[in-house]
Structure 1
Amino acid sequence: MLRRLAGALAITMAATSLVIAIPSAANASSTTVTMESSRKQLIRTKIHWGRCKDTCRIRVRIKNISSKRLYDVNLRAKLRVNGRYMGLCRDHVGQIRPRGVRWASCTVRGSKLNRLWDRYLNGQIRWDTRVNTVVHYEWYG
Structure 2
Amino acid sequence: MIKSLTGTLLVAAAATTLMAAPAAASTAGASSASVSASTATSKSAATASAQLIRTKVYFGRCRDTCTIKVRVTNISRRNLFNVRLNARLKVNGRKAGTCTDYVGGLRARRTTWAACTVRTSTLSNLYNDYLDGFSGFRYYASTYVSYRYYR
Calculate percent identity across the aligned residue pairs. 49
The counterpart of 2:102, out of the listed 92, 96, 101, is 92
Question: Aligned pairs, how many?
Answer: 103
The counterpart of 1:51, out of the listed 49, 56, 61, is 61
Please tell me the residue identity of whatever aligns with 2:90: R
**TM superposition outliers: structure 1 runs of 4+ over 3 Å:** none
TM-score with structure 2 setting the length: 0.65
Q: Post-superposition shift, 1:100?
A: 0.8
Rg (Cα) greater in structure: 2
Query: Following superposition of structure 1 onto structure 2, how do residues 13-92 of structure 1 map, counting pairs within 5 Å?
Result: 40-92=50-102
Matched-pair contact (CA < 8 Å) for 2:97–2:122: no
The answer to whether structure 1 residue 135 and structure 2 residue 145 are counterparts is: yes
Equivalent in the alignment of 2:136: 126
SS of the aligned residue for 2:136 comes to: coil
Equivalent in the alignment of 2:4: none
SS of the aligned residue for 1:68 comes to: coil
SS of the aligned residue for 1:99 comes to: coil
Give 5+ residue unaligned stretches, structure 2. Answer: 1-48
By percentage of residues, which structure has more strand?
1
TM-score with structure 1 setting the length: 0.70
Deviation readout 1:60-117 (Å, 9 max, x if unpaired): 0001111110010000001111121111100000100111111110000122211111
Give the distance between the partners of 2:81 and 2:122, measured in 1 at CA. Answer: 35
By percentage of residues, which structure has more helix?
2
Give the distance between the partners of 1:132 and 1:112, measured in 2 at CA. Answer: 17
Over the residues paired in the alignment, what is the CA RMSD in angstroms? 1.1
Give the distance between the partners of 1:43 and 1:112, measured in 2 at CA. Answer: 31
Give the distance between the partners of 2:99 and 2:75, measured in 1 at CA. Answer: 25
